[in-house]
Structures are given as structure tokens and as C-alpha cells.
């Protein structure tokens, strides 16, 4: 093979132009960094103005959070594209490359796109809003803290954070415990077969009638639910405001136990009788 000798003039020209090119490149990098910092501040300002406008329009908090997240990602994408173009990267080439790779990208991020579509559905259909207590089909439950572009954040009663994909949440079963202002409670109470059913019902109903959190205009009932193996199973039914539901149910359950003890009515417990025949 015949090796071509490099012209020494080319090397000299490259070395002579290197400081100038390095200076221009460094200047572009510094300007790009400055543009990014300014762009970040501008994005924050626009988001702040947008959130104030949305809050004044009395839009739901979860919708405001979702729109804010979407605008944030979109503006940062445009900012990075502009900075890349300023560094000499052809923006049209980038968009053409993204267009040609859209199928591959779509397959790679199909889960994220599903979550994005799920977030839009949750925003439009509003099965819950921020502050609601919900439970999904997988048994996850808690208070909705925020609905982001891709995920919904729940806070459990013991202060754990659960992050649920919007796609799974939108396509599954959602139980909203807060949407309705009132909730019905059912308290099972077992009494012995030797006790007076009518007396037990009167004692339990009196507790329900005297409790301040029980809605007296709604149904109040005490009835025999079933005849069990070890006792008669009664059910105490009433209604309370959603905010008072658990405190009322816990308090009434405790008061029923004390009232039945005072009335001489026993609550049976499971037991097994073993008979041994003497040989």
C-alpha cells in the first residue's frame, strides 16, 4: 500500500486556528449554560403565573398539578432543543431523527404513554380529587396527595407514600370513600343464645340514638343477621358523616360492649368442648 504523506501546512494551519476555535467553542458553552439558567428561571416564572391563574379559575388541585407537570416537561424539552440549536446542532435534524425513531421510542415508552393517557382520563373523568381517600383494585389505599403526568401519589394513614401508575389506576377498580358526604356503618354484635334478643336490640339501639355523630334522619336498625354456631349474630346499622365515620364506629363499638355488660347480656366467644370417654 502507498501511504500518503500529510501536508505539514495543514497541521500548521490546524494548530494556528485551534486557540480561536477553542475560544469560540468555550464561549458557546458558557452562553448555552447561561441560557439554560435564564431559561430555568423563565420556566419557573411561567409556571408560577399559570398556577395562580388556574387557582383563580377554581380548577381542582389535582388538575392544576397535572397541567403544571405537563407544561414543565414541555417547556424544558423546548429549552433543551433551543440550546442544542444554539450550539450548532441542527434542530431540523434532531426532529427528523425523533420522527424516524418514533416507532422504536413508542414501543420503549409505551408504559409511560399509557400512564400519560391514564392521567388525562383521571383528570377528565375525575373519579377522585386531591384529598380524597381511595382504594384501588390491588388493595392500595390512602389519601390522594397529587396526580402527576404519569403517577398518582397516595399517603396512607400511617404516613407511607404509595406511587401508583396512572394507566393501571385508570383501567382498574377505584373505591372512593370521600366522594359521598355520608357513610353507613355496620357493627356486628354476637350475643349468647340464652340472652334476650329484644333486650339486646333495645340496648344497642339506645346507644345509636344517643350518639351525636349518628345521623338520626337516616336509617337506624338493629337486627338478627344470622344464627351462628356459638351465638346469635346481631348487626347494628347507622349512618355518619364521612369525616366522623371511623371515630363514631370505634366509639359506638366500645359503648355497646359496656352497655351489654351492664344489662347482663354476654358476648359469646369461640370454644370447643372435648369429651373423653373413660375406658
Pick the CATH number of 111-176 from 2.102.10.10, 3.30.360.10, 1.10.287.3510, 2.30.30.60: 2.30.30.60
Express each pLDDT in 209-264 by its tens digit. 999 999 999 999 999 999 988 899 999 999 999 999 999 999 999 999 999 999 99
- The C-alpha angle with vertex 212 and arms to 210 and 214, in degrees rounded to 5, equals 85
pLDDT for res 1? 45
CATH code for the domain defined by 16-100: 1.10.287
The domains spanning 16-100 and 182-262 adopt the same CATH topology = no
Label the pairing between strands 232-241 and 182-191. antiparallel
149-181 CB burial, b ≥16 within 10 A, e <16 = bbbbbbeeeeeeeeebbbbbbbeeebeeebeee
- The C-alpha angle with vertex 201 and arms to 200 and 206, in degrees rounded to 5, equals 100
Supply the pTM of this predicted model: 0.58
In degrees and rounded to multiples of 5, residue 271 shows phi and psi of -150, 160
Q: Under CATH, to which class is 182-262 assigned?
A: alpha beta
The stretches in the chain having pLDDT less than 50 are 1-3, 105
Q: Write down the domain spans for the chain.
A: 16-100, 111-176, 182-262
Average pLDDT score over the chain: 82
CA atoms within 13 A on the CB side of 190: 11
Express each pLDDT in 51-76 by its tens digit. 888 777 766 676 777 778 778 888 88
Contact 230, 273 (CB under 8 A): no
pLDDT for res 257? 95
Amino acid at each position: 500500500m502507498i501511504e500518503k504523506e500529510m501536508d505539514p501546512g495543514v497541521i500548521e494551519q490546524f494548530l494556528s486556528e485551534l486557540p480561536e476555535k477553542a475560544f469560540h467553542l468555550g464561549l458557546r458553552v458558557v452562553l448555552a449554560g447561561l441560557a439554560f439558567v435564564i431559561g430555568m428561571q423563565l420556566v419557573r416564572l411561567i409556571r408560577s403565573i399559570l398556577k395562580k391563574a388556574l387557582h383563580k379559575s377554581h380548577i381542582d388541585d389535582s388538575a392544576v398539578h397535572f397541567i403544571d407537570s405537563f407544561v414543565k416537561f414541555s417547556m424544558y424539552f423546548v429549552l433543551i432543543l433551543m440550546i442544542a440549536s444554539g450550539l450548532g446542532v441542527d434542530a431540523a435534524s434532531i426532529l427528523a431523527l425523533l420522527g424516524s425513531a418514533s416507532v422504536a421510542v413508542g414501543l420503549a415508552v409505551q408504559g409511560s404513554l399509557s400512564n400519560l393517557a391514564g392521567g388525562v382520563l383521571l383528570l377528565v373523568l375525575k373519579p377522585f380529587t386531591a384529598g380524597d381517600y381511595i382504594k384501588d383494585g390491588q388493595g392500595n389505599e390512602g389519601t390522594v396527595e397529587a396526580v402527576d403526568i404519569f403517577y398518582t401519589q397516595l399517603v396512607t394513614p400511617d404516613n407511607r407514600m404509595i406511587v401508583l401508575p396512572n394507566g393501571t389506576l385508570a383501567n382498574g377498580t377505584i373505591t372512593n370513600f370521600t366522594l359521598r358526604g355520608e357513610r353507613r356503618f355496620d357493627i356486628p354484635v354476637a350475643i349468647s343464645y340464652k340472652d334476650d334478643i329484644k333486650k339486646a336490640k333495645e340496648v344497642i339501639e339506645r346507644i345509636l340514638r344517643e350518639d351525636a355523630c349518628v345521623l338520626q334522619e337516616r336509617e337506624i336498625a338493629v337486627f338478627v343477621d344470622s344464627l351462628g354456631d356459638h351465638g346469635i349474630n346481631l348487626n347494628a346499622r347507622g349512618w355518619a358523616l364521612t369525616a366522623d365515620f371511623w371515630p363514631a364506629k370505634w366509639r359506638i363499638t366500645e359503648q355497646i360492649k359496656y352497655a351489654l355488660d351492664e344489662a347482663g347480656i354476654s358476648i359469646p366467644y369461640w370454644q370447643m368442648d372435648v369429651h373423653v370417654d373413660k375406658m
